[in-house]
Amino acid sequence: MNNAIAIGRVRRTRRRRALRALFTIYLPVLPYVLFALFPLYFMLVTSLKSNAELYDVHSVPFWIAEGITASHYTLLSAETPFWDWFANSLIVSVTATAISVVLSVLAAYPLARLRFPGADSFGVAVFITYLVPPSLLFLPLSSVVNWLGLSDSLWSLVVTYPTFLVPFCTWLLMGYFRTVPKEIEECAMLDGCSRFQSMLRILLPAAVPGLICAALFAFTLSWNEFLYALVFVSPAELKTMTVGVFSELIRGDIYYWGSLMAGACIGSIPIVIAYVLFLDYYVSGLTSGAIK
Amino acid sequence: MTLKTADLDLAVPVTGEAPCRRAGVLTRESRTAYAFIAPAFFLLTFLVAYPFVLSVWFSLSDARVGTTGSFVGLGNFGRLFSSSIFVQTLQNSILFTAAALTAKIVLGMALALLLFRIKHFKRLIRGAVLLPFIVPTALSTLVWWWMFEPLYSVVNWTLKSLRLADHDIPWLPDPYLAMFVVILVNVWRGLPFFAITLLAGLVAIPRELYEAAEADGAGPVGRFWHITLPLLTPVLAVVILFSAIFTLSDFNIVYVLTKGGPMNMTHLFATYSFALGLQGGEIGQGAAVSLFLFPILLAVVFLQLRLVRKAALYE
C-alpha cells in the first residue's frame, strides 16, 4: 500500500519534471530549429515543385500539392554546364585540400614540437593570416593571379585557396599535435628514426582525428568559397558550383527559381553528406579555434 | 641564415641538460623546423603578405585595370571621404555589424543555454541547428532571396494569411527592409557558430560551482550572472572578436541578395570595394575601401593575442 503511494509519487514528479523540460527546453528550442531548417526545407520543396504551382499566388507555398517534378533538375542538366561546375568544384576542393593539409602538417609539427628561433613570430603570423578575410585581398590577388598567368583557369583557385586553408589547418593541427605525448616520439627517435619519420609513423597515426577534422574543414571552406571563384574565373564552363548557379541561372530579369533551388540543393548535398557522417568532427573543429 | 640565428640562440644557456649536447640538438632541430615550415612560409609570403603590400600600394596610387598607376599619396582616401556612397557604406557597415553581432550574441547565448540542458535527441537537435553554418552561403542566400521575392514571397504569403499585412511588403526594393533582410540572413548563418562555441564553453564550467551556488541559495538568474557569464567571458570575447571580422568583411550575402542596392543602402566594404575595383576598374579606390577592414583586423588580432596570453597565465 505504502509502496504503491510512493511509486505513484515518483511517477508524478517524473511526469512533472518531463512537462517542465518540455516547456522550458524543448518548446523554446523549437523556433531555433525551425529558423535553421526552414530555408533549407523550402529550397528542396521549391526545386521539386512544378512551375504552374510555383507561380500561382493562391497555392500554399509550404508544400507540394500538385505532384513532384524533376523538370528543374533536367533543365539544369540539359541547358547549363551544371555538371562541369560540379566537377570543377570537386577538383578544386580536393586538390586545394590535399595541398593545404600537407603544408599544414609540415608547418604545425615544428610549431607544436620543436624549439627554434622565430617560432613565436611565425605562430603569430599564421594566426594573423588566419584572420585576414578574403575580401581584403581579392583585388591585389587578382593581379598576382594575372601575373602568374593563371586567371580563367582552375589553377588560380587551387593556388589561392590554400592562403586561407593553411593558416586554419595549421592552427587546428597544432592543437591536436600538442595533445599527443612527446615521449612516444622521443622513443622512436632514440631507435634511430629521423624527425620526419617519427612524425610520419608515430605522430600522424595518433593524430588521425585532427587530420580528418582539418581535411573536412578545408574541403568545406573550398567548396563554399565564392569571392575568389567569382573574381578569378570567368568562362561559364570553368566556374565552380557556387558561382555558376548564381551567375549563369539569372539572366537579366528572368529568374529560373525552380532550377536555381535545384542547383542550390545539389551544390549543398556533398557538404551535407560529409556533415552528417562527421558531425562530431565539425563540432570539434568549430570550437577548437575558440576554446583551445 | 639558419645557422646564424641558431648560433645566436646558443648564447642563451638552457637549464637542465648538458650545454654542448643541447647545442647540437638545437641547431639540428631549428634546421629541421625551418625546412618543415618553408613551404607554408613561402605560400603565405607570396600570396598573403605580398598581396597585402600590393594592396597598400594600390590604395596610394591611381592604378586602374591594365596600368600600374602612379603614386598619389592619400588622394584615394580623401576622395572616398568626400564621396557620399562611401560615407553611406561606412554607416551601413557599422549598422550591419553592430546589429548582426548583437543579435547573434543574445540569441546564440540563449540557444547555447538551451542546448546545454537538452537530454533527448541531443545530436539531432545540435546537428539541425548547426546546419546553416555548413551549407554554402552563396547558395543558401539564394533561397532567402526567393523567400523575399516581391511577387511570390513566402514571407508575404504567411503575413497576409495571418492578416498581419494587407499588401505585399517590398522587402528587397526598400532600402531599410533590405538592410533588415541582409542582417537576418547573416544572423541565420552565423548563429550556429556562436551557439556551438558557447556550448563548448558551458560544458567546460565545473559542475561543483553550480552546486555550491545552489546550496548558498542562488537562483537560476543569479547563477547565470555570477557563475556562467564571468566564466564564459573569455570564450565569449574570442567568439565576438572572430565574428566581428567575418561579419564586417561579409561579401556573399550582400552580393547575392542586393549587390549593395537599393541606392547603395546595403553596401559593405567588401561589396563596395568589388564594385569600385573590379566592376568600375578603379583598383586604387577599391583597394583603399578594402583597407578599411585592416585597422579592425589589427585591433582584433591585438585583443585576441592578449586574451590568449592571459588565458595561458591562468593555466
Cell numbers representing residue A183 in the block: 615521449
The answer to whether residues B175 and B34 belong to one domain is no
pLDDT of residue B311: 63
Partner-chain residue, chosen from B40, B193, B290, that has the shortest CB–CB distance to A135: B290
8 Å CB contact of B235 and A290: yes
pLDDT of residue A289: 57
Chain B contact set for A25 (CB, 8 A): 114, 117-118
| Inter-residue contact B241 to B259 (CB < 8 Å) | no
Closest Cα of chain B to A1: distance in Å? 33
pLDDT of residue A85: 96
Q: What is the DSSP secondary structure assignment for residue A255, as one 8-state letter?
A: E
Chain A contact set for B40 (CB, 8 A): 103-104, 106-107, 126, 166, 170
Q: pLDDT-derived band of residue A40, with 50, 70 and 90 as boundaries?
A: very high
Cell numbers representing residue B89 in the block: 557604406
Question: Has residue B255 been placed in a domain?
Answer: yes
Res. A258: pLDDT tops 80: yes
Q: What is the CA B54 to chain-centroid distance, rounded? A: 23
| pTM listed for this prediction | 0.90
Task: Give the separation between CA B43 and CA A162, rounded to whole angstroms.
Answer: 8
The answer to whether residues B106 and B12 belong to one domain is no
Task: Give the separation between CA B10 and CA B20, rounded to whole angstroms.
Answer: 9
Question: Cα–Cα–Cα angle for B76, B264, B173, nearest 5°?
Answer: 170
The answer to whether residues B121 and B203 belong to one domain is yes
Res. B19: pLDDT tops 80: no
The answer to whether residues B27 and B132 belong to one domain is no
Cell numbers representing residue B165 in the block: 499585412
Specify the residue for cell string 529550397.
A43
Question: Has residue B128 been placed in a domain?
Answer: yes
Cell numbers representing residue B48 in the block: 598573403
Question: Has residue B68 been placed in a domain?
Answer: no
Task: Give the separation between CA B226 and CA B222, rounded to whole angstroms.
Answer: 6
Q: In terms of CA atoms, which chain A residue is nearest residue B199?
A: A287
Res. B3: pLDDT tops 60: no
Partner A, chain B 52-81, Cβ-Cβ below 8 Å: 52, 54-55, 58
8 Å CB contact of B144 and A39: yes
8 Å CB contact of A135 and B273: yes
Mean pLDDT over B210-233 rounds to 89
8 Å CB contact of A135 and B270: yes
8 Å CB contact of B50 and A144: yes
| Inter-residue contact A124 to B36 (CB < 8 Å) | no
Q: Terminus-to-terminus CA distance in chain A, angstroms?
A: 56
The answer to whether residues B33 and B118 belong to one domain is no
Contacts of A241 (CB under 8 A, 6+ apart): A85, A86, A88, A89, A223, A263, A266, A267, B136, B139
Domain that holds residue B306: 79-314
Task: Give the separation between CA A25 and CA A3, rounded to whole angstroms.
Answer: 32
Mean pLDDT over B26-52 rounds to 91
The answer to whether residues B36 and B119 belong to one domain is no
Res. A2: pLDDT tops 50: yes
pLDDT of residue B17: 42
Q: pLDDT-derived band of residue B65, with 50, 70 and 90 as boundaries?
A: confident
Question: Has residue B54 been placed in a domain?
Answer: no
Res. B313: pLDDT tops 70: no
| Inter-residue contact A119 to B30 (CB < 8 Å) | no
The answer to whether residues B36 and B86 belong to one domain is no
Q: Which of the listed ranges B6-10, B123-127, B266-270 does the model predict with the highest average pLDDT?
A: B266-270
Mean pLDDT over B72-101 rounds to 93
Cell numbers representing residue B59 in the block: 590604395
Half-sphere exposure of B70 (CA within 13 A, CB side): 0
Total tally of structural domains belonging to chain B: 2
What mean pLDDT is reported for chain A?
A: 90
| Inter-residue contact A272 to B140 (CB < 8 Å) | no
* Residue B77 burial (10 A CB sphere; 0-12, 13-18, 19+): middle
Question: Has residue B105 been placed in a domain?
Answer: yes
Res. B304: pLDDT tops 90: no
Q: Which of the listed ranges A124-138, B21-35, B90-104 does the model predict with the highest average pLDDT?
A: B90-104
Question: Has residue B276 been placed in a domain?
Answer: yes
Cβ contacts from A onto B, under 8 A? 294
Chain B contact set for A140 (CB, 8 A): 50-52, 54-55, 58, 287
Closest Cα of chain B to A61: distance in Å? 6
Contacts of A190 (CB under 8 A, 6+ apart): none
Handedness of CA B43, B47, B49, B54 (dihedral sign): positive
| Inter-residue contact B68 to B59 (CB < 8 Å) | no
Q: Tell me if chain A has a CB within 8 Å of the CB of B3.
A: no
Domains and CATH numbers, chain A: 2-69 (no CATH), 84-291 (1.10.3720.10)
Q: In terms of CA atoms, which chain A residue is nearest residue B243?
A: A131
8 Å CB contact of B235 and A227: no
Q: pLDDT-derived band of residue A1, with 50, 70 and 90 as boundaries?
A: low
Give tens-digit pLDDT for A109-167: 999 988 889 898 999 899 889 889 999 999 999 999 999 999 999 999 999 999 999 99
Res. B9: pLDDT tops 60: no
| Inter-residue contact B153 to B168 (CB < 8 Å) | yes
Q: What is the CA A236 to chain-centroid distance, rounded? A: 24
Partner A, chain B 194-253, Cβ-Cβ below 8 Å: 196-197, 199-201, 204, 235, 238-239, 242, 245-246, 249-252
Cis peptide before B262 (omega within 30 of 0): yes
pLDDT of residue B312: 56
Specify the higher pLDDT residue, B297 or A230: A230
Percent of chain A residues past pLDDT 70, beyond the cut: 97
Cell numbers representing residue A58 in the block: 493562391
Res. A63: pLDDT tops 50: yes
User: DSSP alpha helices (H): ranges in chain A?
Assistant: 2-21, 27-47, 51-54, 71-79, 82-113, 119-131, 134-147, 155-160, 162-179, 182-190, 195-198, 204-206, 208-224, 227-232, 241-248, 257-277, 279-291
The answer to whether residues B259 and B307 belong to one domain is yes
CB atoms closer than 10 angstroms to residue B199? 23
- Look up the CATH number of the domain holding residue B184: 1.10.3720.10
Question: Has residue B86 been placed in a domain?
Answer: yes
Closest Cα of chain B to A37: distance in Å? 7
Region of poorest pLDDT, from A43-52, B14-23, B32-41? B14-23
The answer to whether residues B27 and B143 belong to one domain is no
The answer to whether residues B140 and B224 belong to one domain is yes
Give tens-digit pLDDT for A164-178: 999 999 999 998 998
Task: Give the separation between CA A22 and CA A16, rounded to whole angstroms.
Answer: 10
Q: In terms of CA atoms, which chain B residue is nearest residue A113?
A: B33
- Strand duo A250-251 + A254-255: pairing: antiparallel
* Residue A20 burial (10 A CB sphere; 0-12, 13-18, 19+): exposed
pLDDT of residue B189: 96
Res. B76: pLDDT tops 70: yes
Which value does ipTM take for this structure?
0.92
Mean pLDDT over B146-174 rounds to 91
Handedness of CA B123, B128, B134, B135 (dihedral sign): positive
pLDDT of residue B7: 36
Q: What is the CA A167 to chain-centroid distance, rounded? A: 16
Q: B120: helix, coil or strand?
A: coil
Contacts of A265 (CB under 8 A, 6+ apart): A43, A44, A47
Task: Give the separation between CA A11 and CA B50, rounded to whole angstroms.
Answer: 69
**b/e map A209-226, b = 16+ CB within 10 Å:** ebbebbbbbbbbbbbbbb
8 Å CB contact of A37 and B43: no
The answer to whether residues B17 and B166 belong to one domain is no
Cell numbers representing residue A48 in the block: 521539386
Res. B234: pLDDT tops 80: yes
Question: Has residue B234 been placed in a domain?
Answer: yes
Res. B101: pLDDT tops 50: yes
Q: Which of B8, B21, B44, B119 should we substitute to test contact with A (largest number of A Cβ atoms within 10 Å)?
A: B44
The answer to whether residues B231 and B130 belong to one domain is yes
Q: In terms of CA atoms, which chain A residue is nearest residue B114?
A: A25
| Inter-residue contact B223 to B213 (CB < 8 Å) | yes
Mean pLDDT over A193-205 rounds to 87
Specify the residue for cell string 602568374.
A148
Mean pLDDT over B72-84 rounds to 90
Partner A, chain B 276-315, Cβ-Cβ below 8 Å: 277-278, 283, 286-287, 290-291, 293-294, 297, 300-301, 304-305
